[in-house]
Amino acid sequence: MLKKPMRLEHKLDLSILVVFLSVYALFFIGNPGVFSRFDIYYSFMSTIPFIAILALSVTLVVVLGMMDLSFPSVLAFSAWVFGAVFTATGNMPLAVIACLAVGTACGFINSILVVHIGVPSLVATIGSMFFWRGAVNMVAQGRGISLVGAMDRTLFTVFVGRIGGVIPAQFIWMVLAGLFFGTLLKRHRFGTHLLFVGDNEQSAAMMGINVKLVKTIAFMQVGAAAAFVGILSTLEVTYFWPSQGQGYLMSALAAVFVGGTSVFGGMGTMLGTFLGALLIGSLEAGIISSGLSGFWIQFIYGLLIMISVSTYATMMRKRG
């Protein structure tokens, strides 16, 4: 009897899991003292959610076979809106709503360029990446905004408080985002439509899927997610600064591709992205605590990405 062949996506999920566990095994061997204590996980739980939520959200655009490079700039611009509105009004819910609205609007502008004007997404979002970074530099005049005044607000606790004094709230947000995006992609009508459009746009249109709407929503939700992470990362350090988010571009994209989602579109895995983000986010600390110097970090990043994407490419080629 034929054994039921394993689906490619399950193989991808399995291999990222294997990579993840092996790297963590290496961390343990490298420095058992650090990796068997809670402290390092506490630090991971407070920093990794930022790139993880961004990566999960961008995965939806990648599933369409498209790209968004503007999210770090959108993050910074909407975080400035958050800081400015809060400083001006002292009204935190209003600042949150304004921030999310601006982020979503930035995503909508991307979608106009890509969907209606027909600019390739990579090119369009290089433009908007510079545009929003430039905008935030202009409005902020190079100055940061202190948000110390937000610390006694309930919403502060909801976003970045410490549950039971130990679990950073953003970690909960990350887990919720993982469940949300995982369900959205594989179990929701919108996710199926994304997969269809990313796989074969003409077929999708002939099957009555509103291709333009699907693409528009995909870009808008990245804007919203960037704004949301803008709030989290600003509140975590109670400070807005104009170059905020710049470090997230490559880490978030690396998480998506290390996770096994294909740049060609039509397939994607949120579990992969989630594990990819955990991996990318803990690599730096892992390398340093293993006793290697900081000069190794990018080298090992690069190695990990090259190995994982080569593995996936081989799997894709051999499938069937």
Closest CB to another protein among residues 24, 180: 180
The answer to whether 263 and 64 have CB atoms below 8 angstroms apart is: no
Minimum separation from the CB atom of position 308 to another protein (A)? 20
C-alpha radius of gyration, the chain, whole number: 20
At residue 163, what are phi and psi to the nearest 5 degrees?
-75, 125
- Burial (CB count <10 Å: 0-12, 13-18, 19+), residue 233: buried
Per-residue tokens: 89: 């009004």
Minimum separation from the CB atom of position 206 to another protein (A)? 4
- Residue among 204, 225, 254, 304 that touches another protein (CB under 8 A): 204
Closest CB to another protein among residues 2, 148: 2
Q: Binding of another protein at residue 118 (CB under 8 A)?
A: no
Q: Binding of another protein at residue 14 (CB under 8 A)?
A: no
The answer to whether 108 and 125 have CB atoms below 8 angstroms apart is: no
Rounded Cα distance between 303 and 294, Å, is 15
- Residue among 27, 50, 82, 196 that touches another protein (CB under 8 A): 196
Closest CB to another protein among residues 4, 143: 4
Cβ neighbours of residue 32 closer than 8 Å, sequence gap 6 or more: none
Q: Binding of another protein at residue 187 (CB under 8 A)?
A: yes
String of DSSP letters for 244-257: TTTTHHHHHHHHHH
Minimum separation from the CB atom of position 225 to another protein (A)? 19
Count other Cβ atoms within 10 Å, centred on residue 68.
31
Show contacts with another protein in window 264-293 (CB under 8 A): 266-267
Q: Which residues pair with 162 in a beta bridge?
A: 168
Q: Binding of another protein at residue 263 (CB under 8 A)?
A: no
Stretch that binds another protein, among 49-57, 92-100, 193-201, 246-254 (CB under 8 A): 193-201
Minimum separation from the CB atom of position 41 to another protein (A)? 33
- For the chain, the distance separating the N- and C-terminal CA atoms, rounded to the nearest angstrom, is 17
Minimum separation from the CB atom of position 8 to another protein (A)? 8
Q: Binding of another protein at residue 209 (CB under 8 A)?
A: yes
- Residue among 146, 203, 310, 314 that touches another protein (CB under 8 A): 203
Q: Binding of another protein at residue 192 (CB under 8 A)?
A: yes
The answer to whether 106 and 132 have CB atoms below 8 angstroms apart is: yes
Per-residue tokens: 129: 């990446």
Stretch that binds another protein, among 11-19, 81-89, 103-111, 204-212 (CB under 8 A): 204-212
String of DSSP letters for 206-233: HTT--HHHHHHHHHHHHHHHHHHHHHHH
**Amino acid residing at 8:** L
Q: Binding of another protein at residue 179 (CB under 8 A)?
A: no
- CA nearest neighbour of 83 among 102, 101, 100, 96: 96
Q: Binding of another protein at residue 116 (CB under 8 A)?
A: no
Q: Binding of another protein at residue 215 (CB under 8 A)?
A: no
Minimum separation from the CB atom of position 217 to another protein (A)? 12
- Residue among 41, 108, 180, 190 that touches another protein (CB under 8 A): 190
Q: Binding of another protein at residue 66 (CB under 8 A)?
A: no
Contact footprint for another protein (CB under 8 A): 2, 4, 7-8, 183, 187-190, 192-193, 195-196, 199-200, 202-210, 266-267, 320
